[in-house]
C-alpha cells in the first residue's frame, strides 16, 4: 500500500516468517494464531492460507499460482491481494523476504 | 452480572520485585514483596502449566528484575515445554553472555530491554544506578548475538522527550526488531515523581511527530509502538485490553491480578495461586469479576459507543485521580474531571521540579 515497504513487489521474493515469529494452531480456540514478541495476531482464513505458504522456499509467484489453483480464482486478483497482505505483514515485522 | 470471559491470551509472571535499578518512574507498588514471600520454582512451574492449559499463548517474565532469580532459565524451559511463547522484560543490567546463552537454550524467544535515555548521565540518573546505561548497551548487543529477538523499550519523560529521534536510531543501531517509545505512565512509585517527569504539551507533540516520521522511514525494518502520556490524551487507553479480558498477572507472592497496579484499589479481594487454580480465579475470582465487561460502568461510559473499545479506561488511574476506582477514567474528555487532569498536567509540566524521590533512599539523587 505504501512505498518503502521491506517487501518489494518482486514475484521472485521468497517470503518467510520473521525470526521468532510463529504460526501455530491454537487447539483451545480452534484457530490459527501468529505469535510474535509481545504481540499476537489473529489471521483470517485468507491470511492463514497465505502465511502457511510463506516457507522461505516458495516465491511470491509460486504462492500466487498455488492459491489461484487451490481456490480456482483469478491469478491477478490473487497477486494483488497477496501483495497487499504481505506488505502489511512486512510492516508489522511478521514476514520478511 | 458476571460476563463469561474468553481465555486470557497472556500471562504476566512477575517473578520477583527485587531489582538493582531504582527507576524514578517505577510503576510497581510502594511496598514491594520480599524474597521470603516469593513463589518457589515448583509453584511457578505449576502456574505456567495452568496458564497454558487455560489458553495463554505467551508468558512475559517480568518483575522487578526477573534475572535476579537464579531459577529463571528453569522457568523459561518449563514455560517453553508447556507451549508458551516466552518473553523476558528486563533492565538488562544483570545479564551476561553465559546467562543469555542458557536462556536461549531454554527456549527464550525475545528480550525487551528498557532504556532510560540515550545519554548516559540522564539515563543513569533516571534509573538510579550508576553504570546502568553502558551495561544495557552491551547486553542489548549480546541479546541479538545470542539469536534472540530484541525490543528496545525507550521510556520517555520530560528530561528526554526531545531525544526520541536518537532513541529510535539507537534501536536501529542495536539491530532491534522493535522499539516501544513509551511515555511514562504514573502508577505506584512513579506517582511520587510525576511532577518531575511530566512532559510539556509541546514536547509530546514533537515526540509524536518524530515517531510518525520514523514509522514511515523505517517501514518494514523496525516496528515502532508508541504509548502517549495519558494525562495529555483525550481518549483513555483500553487498559490491559479490558479488565479480565486478555491478561492475567501473577505477582511475586502468588496473587492473581487483573493489572499491574490493581493492589492499589481498596476493598479488592485477590485470589492466590497457592490456594486456587488459575482457571477458577480467571473465570470466577472476585477481582477479575469486579470490572469485567460493561455492567459496572457509570455514565458517561454507559451510553458511550466506545465502551467496548476502551472499556472505561484504567481503573487504577481513575482511583489515583478521582479517588474512585469505579469512575470513568478522567483522561476521557467526557469525564467531569477531565479538565482538572489536563490542568494538572499543565501545571506539573511547567513546574521546575526535577528532584527525584528514589526507592530505599533519602530524597537526594545518587549521581
Residue B222 with chain A: CB contacts under 8 Å: 93
The answer to whether residue A6 sits within a structural domain is no
| Tally of domains in chain A | 1
**Across the A/B interface, how many CB contacts are shorter than 8 Å?**
61
Cα–Cα distance, B323 to B112 (Å, whole number): 33
Mean pLDDT of A49-66: 95
For residue B322 the three cell numbers come to 478521582
Kindly give, in sequence order, each residue whose CB lies less than 8 Å from that of residue B175, ignoring residues fewer than 6 positions away: B144, B150
The CATH number for A20's domain is: 1.10.10.1150
Any alpha helices (H) in chain B, and if so which ranges? 41-54, 72-81, 97-106, 120-127, 132-145, 164-173, 194-197, 201-217, 278-284, 286-290, 307-310, 315-322, 338-350
Measure in Å the smallest separation between the Cα of A86 and chain B Cα atoms: 10
What interhelical angle do B97-106 and B72-81 show, nearest 10?
20
Among all residues of chain B, which has the CA nearest to that of A94? Answer: B220
The answer to whether residue A47 sits within a structural domain is yes
Interchain pair B57, A40: CB under 8 A: yes
Number of Cβ within 10 Å of residue A54's Cβ equals 22
| Residue of B37, B50, B99 lying closest to B79 (CA atoms) | B50
Cα–Cα distance, B338 to B330 (Å, whole number): 5
Residue A10, pLDDT score? 80
Mean pLDDT of chain A: 89
Kindly give, in sequence order, each residue whose CB lies less than 8 Å from that of residue B95, ignoring residues fewer than 6 positions away: B67, B139, B142, B143
Residue B355, pLDDT score? 87
Residue B359, pLDDT score? 95
The answer to whether residue A50 sits within a structural domain is yes
Interchain pair A37, B217: CB under 8 A: no
Contact B330, B337 (CB under 8 A): yes
Residue B350, pLDDT score? 87
The answer to whether residue A81 sits within a structural domain is yes
Q: Which domain holds residue A72?
A: 16-96
Considering only the beta carbons, identify the residue of B58, B147, B223 that sits closest to A92.
B223
Residue B3, pLDDT score? 55
Mean pLDDT of A62-71: 95
Q: Residues 6 to 25 of A: which have CB under 8 A from any B CB? A: 6-7, 18-20, 22
Interchain pair B57, A6: CB under 8 A: no
User: Using 50, 70 and 90 to split pLDDT, how confident is the model at A74?
Assistant: very high
Among all residues of chain A, which has the CA nearest to that of B12? Answer: A38
Residue B352, pLDDT score? 66
| Residue of B109, B49, B76 lying closest to A20 (CA atoms) | B109
Provide the Cα torsion A15, A25, B225, B196; round to 10°. Answer: -150
Interchain pair B87, A5: CB under 8 A: no
The mean pLDDT values, 10 residues at a time, for chain B of 367 residues are 77 98 95 96 98 98 97 98 98 98 98 97 96 98 98 96 98 98 94 93 96 96 93 91 95 96 93 98 96 95 95 93 95 95 91 83 50
User: Using 50, 70 and 90 to split pLDDT, how confident is the model at A5?
Assistant: very low
Cα–Cα distance, B220 to A88 (Å, whole number): 9
Name the DSSP class of B234: S
The answer to whether residue A61 sits within a structural domain is yes
3-state secondary structure of B338: helix
Cα–Cα distance, B259 to A97 (Å, whole number): 38
Q: What is the pLDDT of residues B23-41, one digit of tens each?
A: 999 999 999 999 999 999 9
CA angle A3/A7/A12 to nearest 5° reads 125
Cα–Cα distance, B99 to B88 (Å, whole number): 13
Cα–Cα distance, B86 to B169 (Å, whole number): 26
CB of A5 within 8 Å of a chain B CB? The answer is yes
What interhelical angle do A75-91 and A45-53 show, nearest 10?
80
The answer to whether residue A23 sits within a structural domain is yes
The answer to whether residue A77 sits within a structural domain is yes
The answer to whether residue A9 sits within a structural domain is no
Residue B124, pLDDT score? 97
Interchain pair B55, A29: CB under 8 A: yes
Cα–Cα distance, B238 to B240 (Å, whole number): 6
Residue B4, pLDDT score? 67
Name the DSSP class of B138: H
Interchain pair A90, B57: CB under 8 A: no
When scoring B79, B80, B85, B175 by the number of chain A Cβ atoms within 10 A, the one with the most, hence best to mutate, is B85
Amino acid at each position: 500500500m505504501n512505498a518503502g515497504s521491506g517487501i518489494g513487489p518482486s514475484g521472485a521474493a521468497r517470503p518467510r516468517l520473521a525470526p521468532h515469529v510463529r504460526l501455530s494452531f491454537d487447539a483451545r480456540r480452534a484457530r490459527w494464531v501468529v505469535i510474535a514478541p509481545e504481540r499476537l495476531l489473529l489471521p483470517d482464513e485468507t491470511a492463514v492460507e497465505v502465511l502457511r505458504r510463506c516457507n522461505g522456499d516458495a516465491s511470491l509467484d509460486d504462492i500466487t499460482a498455488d492459491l489461484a489453483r487451490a481456490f480456482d480464482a483469478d491469478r491477478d486478483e490473487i497477486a494483488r491481494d497477496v501483495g497487499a497482505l504481505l506488505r502489511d505483514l512486512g510492516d508489522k515485522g511478521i514476514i520478511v523476504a | 452480572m458476571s460476563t463469561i470471559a474468553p481465555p486470557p491470551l497472556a500471562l504476566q509472571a512477575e517473578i520477583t520485585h527485587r531489582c538493582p535499578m531504582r527507576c524514578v518512574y517505577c510503576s510497581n507498588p510502594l511496598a514491594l514483596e520480599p524474597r521470603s514471600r516469593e513463589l518457589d520454582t515448583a509453584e511457578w512451574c505449576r502456574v505456567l502449566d495452568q496458564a497454558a492449559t487455560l489458553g495463554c499463548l505467551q508468558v512475559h517474565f517480568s518483575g522487578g528484575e526477573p534475572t535476579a532469580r537464579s531459577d529463571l532459565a528453569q522457568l523459561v524451559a518449563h514455560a517453553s515445554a508447556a507451549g508458551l511463547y516466552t518473553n523476558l522484560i528486563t533492565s538488562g543490567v544483570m545479564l551476561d553472555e553465559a546467562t543469555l546463552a542458557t536462556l536461549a537454550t531454554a527456549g527464550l524467544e525475545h528480550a525487551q530491554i528498557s532504556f532510560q535515555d540515550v545519554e548516559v548521565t540522564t539515563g543513569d540518573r533516571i534509573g538510579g544506578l550508576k553504570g546502568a546505561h553502558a551495561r544495557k548497551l552491551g547486553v542489548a548487543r549480546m541479546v541479538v548475538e545470542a539469536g534472540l529477538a530484541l525490543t528496545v523499550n525507550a521510556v520517555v519523560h520530560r528530561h528526554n522527550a526531545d531525544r526520541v529521534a536518537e532513541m529510535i536510531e539507537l534501536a536501529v543501531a542495536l539491530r532491534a526488531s522493535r522499539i516501544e517509545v513509551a511515555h511514562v505512565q504514573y502508577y505506584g512509585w512513579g506517582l511520587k515523581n510525576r511532577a518531575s517527569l511530566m512532559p510539556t504539551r509541546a514536547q509530546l507533540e514533537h515526540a509524536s511527530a518524530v515517531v510518525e516520521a520514523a514509522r514511515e522511514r523505517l517501514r518494514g525494518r523496525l516496528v515502532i509502538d508508541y504509548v502517549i502520556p495519558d494525562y495529555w490524551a483525550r481518549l483513555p487507553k483500553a487498559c490491559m485490553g479490558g479488565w479480565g479480558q486478555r491478561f492475567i498477572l501473577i505477582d511475586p507472592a502468588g496473587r492473581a491480578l487483573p493489572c499491574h497496579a490493581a493492589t492499589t484499589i481498596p476493598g479488592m479481594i485477590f485470589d492466590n495461586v497457592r490456594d486456587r487454580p488459575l482457571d477458577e480465579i480467571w473465570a470466577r475470582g472476585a477481582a477479575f469479576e469486579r470490572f469485567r465487561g460493561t455492567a459496572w460502568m457509570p455514565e458517561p461510559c454507559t451510553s458511550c459507543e466506545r465502551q467496548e473499545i476502551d472499556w472505561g479506561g484504567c481503573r487504577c488511574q481513575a482511583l489515583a485521580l478521582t479517588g474512585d476506582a469505579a469512575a470513568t477514567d478522567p483522561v476521557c474528555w467526557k469525564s467531569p474531571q477531565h479538565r482538572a487532569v489536563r490542568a494538572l498536567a499543565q501545571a506539573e509540566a511547567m513546574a521546575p521540579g526535577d528532584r527525584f524521590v528514589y526507592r530505599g533512599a533519602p530524597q537526594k539523587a545518587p549521581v
